[in-house]
C-alpha cells in the first residue's frame, strides 16, 4: 500500500466519486480536502489505473515539483505544500531532543566521558594533588 496524493481536476463533479473509486480499488481514504484533494492508501499496482481516471489531475506518491507548486493557488497550493511537508517529515530522521543544547543547559547533565578519558582525568587529578596512588 502506498500513501498517495490525488489532485482532482477543477471540473470534477464530486470528491465522493473518487472516494468510491479508491475504495473499489481496495484502498482507504486517509484524508479528504474538498473540493480538490484526497490522500489515500492504495495498492501500488493500482496507481496507473487511477491516473487514467478522467477526474484526476495528479496522482503521486512523491513530492510535488516546485514549478507545479508555484503555479497553483489558493487551497490547491496549500494542499500541495502540505503534502510536501508531510513527505519531508516522514523521510527525515527524527531529531534528537538534545540536539542543539549546550553542555551546561539547565536541568540537563552532560554525558559521562568514555572510560579511557575518565581514567586519564583521575590520573591527572592525582598528579595535581601530589598523590601516588
**If we measure between CA atoms, which residue out of 41, 42, 79 comes closest to residue 57?**
79
Q: For residue range 62-95, what is the model confidence (pLDDT) as tens digits?
A: 999 999 888 888 888 999 999 999 988 876 666 6
Cα–Cα distance between 21 and 25 in angstroms, integer? 6
Domain 2-91 part of CATH 3.30.70.80: yes
Q: For residue range 17-32, what is the model confidence (pLDDT) as tens digits?
A: 889 999 999 999 999 8
Domain spans of the chain, in order of start: 2-91
52 pLDDT tier (thresholds 50, 70, 90): very high
Average pLDDT, the chain: 86
Amino acid at each position: 500500500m502506498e500513501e498517495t496524493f490525488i489532485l482532482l481536476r477543477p471540473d470534477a463533479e464530486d470528491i465522493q466519486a473518487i472516494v468510491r473509486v479508491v475504495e473499489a480499488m481496495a484502498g482507504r481514504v486517509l484524508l479528504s480536502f474538498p473540493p480538490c484533494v484526497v490522500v489515500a492508501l492504495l495498492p501500488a499496482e493500482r496507481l496507473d489505473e487511477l491516473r487514467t481516471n478522467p477526474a484526476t489531475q495528479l496522482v503521486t506518491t512523491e513530492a510535488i515539483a516546485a514549478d507545479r507548486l508555484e503555479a497553483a493557488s489558493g487551497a490547491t497550493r496549500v494542499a500541495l505544500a502540505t503534502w510536501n511537508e508531510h513527505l519531508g517529515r516522514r523521510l527525515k530522521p527524527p531529531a534528537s531532543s538534545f540536539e542543539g543544547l549546550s553542555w551546561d543547559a539547565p536541568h540537563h547533565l552532560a554525558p559521562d566521558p568514555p572510560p579511557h578519558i575518565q581514567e586519564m582525568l583521575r590520573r591527572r587529578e592525582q598528579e595535581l594533588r601530589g598523590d601516588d596512588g
